[in-house]
Amino acid sequence: MNIDALIEYISSTPLTWLLLTLGSFKIGIIVYEKFNKQTLLQPIIISYLFIISIIVFTDTSYAEYFKGVEIIHFFLGPATVALALPLYKNLKYIKSLFVPILVTLVVAGVFSILIAVGLLWVLGAELPTILSMTTKSITAPIAIITSEQIGAIPSLAVGFVIITGIIGALFGTALFKFMNIKHDTSKGFALGLISHGIGTARAIEISEKAAAFSALAMGIGGILTAVFLPLIIQFIF
Task: Please tell me whether residues 102 and 149 are part of one structural domain.
Answer: yes
Instruction: Calculate mean pLDDT across residues 94-107.
Output: 86
Task: Please tell me whether residues 176 and 131 are part of one structural domain.
Answer: yes
Question: Total domain count for the chain?
Answer: 2
Task: Report the pLDDT value the prediction gives residue 27, as an integer from 0 to 100.
Answer: 92
Neighbours of 68 (CB within 10 A): 20
- Residue-range definition of the domain harbouring residue 36: 1-68
Task: Please tell me whether residues 116 and 192 are part of one structural domain.
Answer: yes
Task: Please tell me whether residues 32 and 140 are part of one structural domain.
Answer: no
Instruction: Calculate mean pLDDT across residues 152-157.
Output: 88
Task: Report the pLDDT value the prediction gives residue 74, as an integer from 0 to 100.
Answer: 75
Cα 220 from Cα 224, distance rounded (Å):
6
Is 82 strand, coil or helix? coil
CB 133 within 8 A of CB 143: no
What is the percent of the chain where pLDDT is above 70?
93
CB 138 within 8 A of CB 196: yes
pLDDT in tens, 221-231: 888 888 888 88
As a whole number, the mean pLDDT across the chain is: 83
The predicted model scores a pTM of: 0.77
CA 140, 146, 152: angle at the middle one, nearest 5? Answer: 100
pLDDT in tens, 67-93: 888 888 777 767 767 777 777 788 888
Task: Please tell me whether residues 46 and 117 are part of one structural domain.
Answer: no
Residue where a domain stops, chosen among 26, 50, 68: 68
